[in-house]
Structure 1
Amino acid sequence: MRFYLTTHKRHWVRLTDKPLFLKSEHFVKAVRLDPAQGPYAVDSGGFSELQRHGCWTRSERQYVDDLRRIWECVGPFDWAAPQDWMCEPIMIHGGTVGGQHFVGTHLSIAEHQRRTVANYLELRELAPDLPIVPVLQGWELPAYERCVALYERAGVDLAKEPTVGLGSVCRRQATREAVAIVTTLAGYGIRLHGFGFKTIGLERVGHLMASADSAAWSYHARRRPPMLGHTHRNCANCLPYALRWRTRVLDRMPQWQQPALDAAA
């Protein structure tokens, strides 16, 4: 399993050879981009887009143009997420949770899934040369299976894709329901990427996924004193802390998972 560190610090790509996961918008805003020293993947920023606007404010063509600039200036990325539509109830209905306000899309899960698949097909048509991956969206297991069927009807065999994102699971990854979703989809031969996974989720289903990303290191650091010798208030934006956290997480994984983790980490 390849384990990406999620960060908004785009310059980290020149400082480490460990896998990084960054939003496309963090690259787009830069006048100068640094070449990557290691593997990285690109997030479309869908969570923020739908949270703030209830829709996508960038067209597919704009997104493809952004990805091409990243590819040419930073270097080839492992893959990029499409402009998918998350299916969490708060994303659909709107409201406030954890101090974050969501405007809500006020659409159905089925419509979110339809738009997710349609966007992937459009991006693939616009940029067949870029490794843009399909993403499965849903809420309960039957909805995810319906999303698989949508891709199948569109001619996309998810079992043949090198990576398939799994959306709308990160906030409940340790639940029995989420474990059932991952287990079932992995059983179809789908190589899943887990968005926003934390340590407990990785411990339970990490062996079933091809890759995962996590920003939990920053949350962890924000609530602790800085590393010895560091002068900042905390290490929530600190690469040495993030790398040390990543090593600890991988070391804590069950021993029978260690060979797979070490081989691709």
Structure 2
Amino acid sequence: MSRFLLGAPPAFMKYTDVPLFVSNRPLSKIKNLYRARGPVAVDSGGFSELDDHGSWDHGPTPRQYAGQVARYVDEVGIEWAAPQDWMCEPWIVAKTGLSVAEHQRRTVGNYLDLKSIDAGLPIIPVIQGWTVADYERCIALYDRAGVDLRTLPLVGIGSVCRRQGTEEAAQLIERIAGHGIRLHGFGFKIDGLRRVAHCLPSSDSMAWALAGRREEQGCDFRFPRSRGPHKNEANCLRYALAWRERVLAAVEVGLARPEQLVFPFAA
């Protein structure tokens, strides 16, 4: 079974019970939160923080983020949240000026910090890296910190989404899943899920919003109290749910793929 979380603005939590993936950046700005109708997980917004600023200095501190997550558990009813991890795409590493190894140390360190602030927080660890050797080094960092990723219900795998449709990425996911780790794939779209859904118990994507921005006519769908019809489909629930159906079909294809023997490739 593979569960897909639809990347969504917070408002969607009011109107649909499909599993959603909501970013902390807009969610943290809402003064009066509301109970979600369905399952919700929270993204820390780490890619945007590092892409915009090259650090987490402009985002919440770990203690502030822990407080936000605790609030979402109580008021929204979220299932889990990502840590304040450090992505390892080459262009992100170039912006921070740090090494991949340092990004990994900070990713593991943040998870440990958040759990030390409140051990009951539903924060999942995230494996970061760029090559196979990087990801396996990150697993070893968790092992040395006393965190056995193989025993946890879900572990994120980062810095893969922008190469997810490649054979390299498919082999990487299969290799890491082969460690017995239940992976959540961040930002996995249709092509990627056709290849590796059988290795991902969970995944998310908000790619529909970018595609919807190109649909300039919009449709007649409106939220209650909407001021008027939308100019494009970038925030349209009906458009997003229709796109989700295509993703679920891709997941079924990916689940039906026979598992392949994975041969080592250049790390």
Aligned to 1:112: 103
Aligned to 1:63: 65
Aligned to 2:206: 215
CA contact (8 A) 2:219 2:230 kept: no
| CA–CA separation in structure 2 for the residues paired with 1:67 and 1:55 | 20
Aligned to 1:26: 26
CA contact (8 A) 1:87 1:109 kept: yes
| CA–CA separation in structure 1 for the residues paired with 2:127 and 2:250 | 28
Residues 44-63 of structure 1 mapped to structure 2, 5 A cutoff: 44-57=44-57, 58-63=60-65
CA contact (8 A) 1:227 1:241 kept: no
Aligned to 1:169: 160
| CA–CA separation in structure 1 for the residues paired with 2:231 and 2:66 | 38
Residues 91-130 of structure 1 mapped to structure 2, 5 A cutoff: 91-93=92-94, 104-130=95-121
Which AA in structure 1 matches 2:28?
A: V
TM-score (norm 1): 0.89
CA contact (8 A) 1:22 1:42 kept: yes
Aligned to 2:187: 196
| CA–CA separation in structure 2 for the residues paired with 1:140 and 1:190 | 17
Question: How far did 1:66 drift?
Answer: 1.0
| Unmatched runs of 5 consecutive residues or more in structure 2 | 222-228, 257-267
Aligned to 2:247: 249
Q: Give the 3-state SS of the residue equivalent to 1:213 in structure 2.
A: strand
Aligned to 2:262: none
Q: Give the 3-state SS of the residue equivalent to 2:203 in structure 1.
A: strand
Question: How far did 1:248 drift?
Answer: 2.2
Deviations 1:93-129 (A, max 9, x none): 1xxxxxxxxxx11000000001111111111111111
Residues 144-183 of structure 1 mapped to structure 2, 5 A cutoff: 144-183=135-174
Number of positions where the alignment pairs a residue of Structure 1 with one of Structure 2: 246
Deviations 1:209-240 (A, max 9, x none): 01110011112222235565454222111001
2:236 to 230, 235, 238: 238
| CA–CA separation in structure 2 for the residues paired with 1:255 and 1:223 | 27
| CA–CA separation in structure 2 for the residues paired with 1:149 and 1:87 | 17
TM-score (norm 2): 0.88
| CA–CA separation in structure 2 for the residues paired with 1:251 and 1:202 | 9
Deviations 1:16-75 (A, max 9, x none): 100111111212111111110100100111011111221113211011011112122112
Identity level (%) = 53
**Runs of 4+ deviating beyond 6 Å:** none
CA contact (8 A) 1:11 1:34 kept: no
